[in-house]
Structure 1
């Protein structure tokens, strides 16, 4: 999908988390291209940086670039019984309130409760044992578009 991003952030292969529009964006004439295609709370991967610029008062340098993006693959920890490459799952956060070094992978940014996701790759066991006793696997998930 095509969107706009600050010139200093527009690098092929980089990723960004869309946190929502700034107040000034709501009435901007580029809003349908810049903001409308993106979902708040999603991580996007920049596939291509186009050779097109627009002026934008909220970005450093006051310029944005046209970029082609897609939802990024997200590394997460899921129950080992669900970790089959190629399968489509409904993502669920674990029922866990233990603070540990792997918590960011159990509750990752960019994927939301109930999202339909494809397991792109099973990365195997995590480097540590789950302190809550869950049998987990590291996987790359691709959030799918809603139907």
Structure 2
């Protein structure tokens, strides 16, 4: 699903992928809802179309260009029993205290607990040091 938002002029190029980082000062701006208000904080997006409108942003000191974006899939670890391509599910982070190379996929995926997501690609099984049955997948937020 496409969303209309604004990005700095340097990112206003087709197929540019960016992560939505929201500055607290943005919440007071009159253009917040049109600019980054529709984006998920930490979400990854790809610019698919550039419009001919821009607005100056006093916070970053640059023009913000109006663009259309699509959500990019996010890498995350899920229980293997739900790691099926095309399945929609309610996301929950894998609670883990182990220090392994996959820990960020278990605990730091930029998806909120309870958010509806779709498994778009199953990548590989994860060798979990806690003997959990986990799989690395690409998830696409549905909201």
Provide the TM-score with structure 1 as the length reference: 0.82
Contact preservation (8 Å) 1:42, 1:109: no
Counterpart of 2:48? 47
Counterpart of 1:95? 95
The answer for unaligned runs of 5 or more in structure 2 is none
Offset at 1:142? 0.7
Counterpart of 1:16? 18
Aligned length: 141
Counterpart of 2:123? 123
Offset at 1:70? 2.5
Contact preservation (8 Å) 2:76, 2:105: yes
Name the CA distance, whole Å, in 2 between partners of 1:27 and 1:114. 28
Contact preservation (8 Å) 2:75, 2:105: yes
C-alpha change, 1:142 and 1:32, in structure 2 (3 Å) is same
Offset at 1:71? 2.5
Counterpart of 1:31? 32
Contact preservation (8 Å) 1:17, 1:110: no
Residue aligned with 2:34, SS: helix
Counterpart of 2:137? 139
Moved over 4 A (4+): none
Offset at 1:13? 2.3
Offset at 1:136? 1.8
The structure where strand makes up a greater share of residues is: 2
Name the CA distance, whole Å, in 2 between partners of 1:56 and 1:68. 18
Residue aligned with 1:125, SS: strand
C-alpha change, 1:84 and 1:117, in structure 2 (3 Å) is same
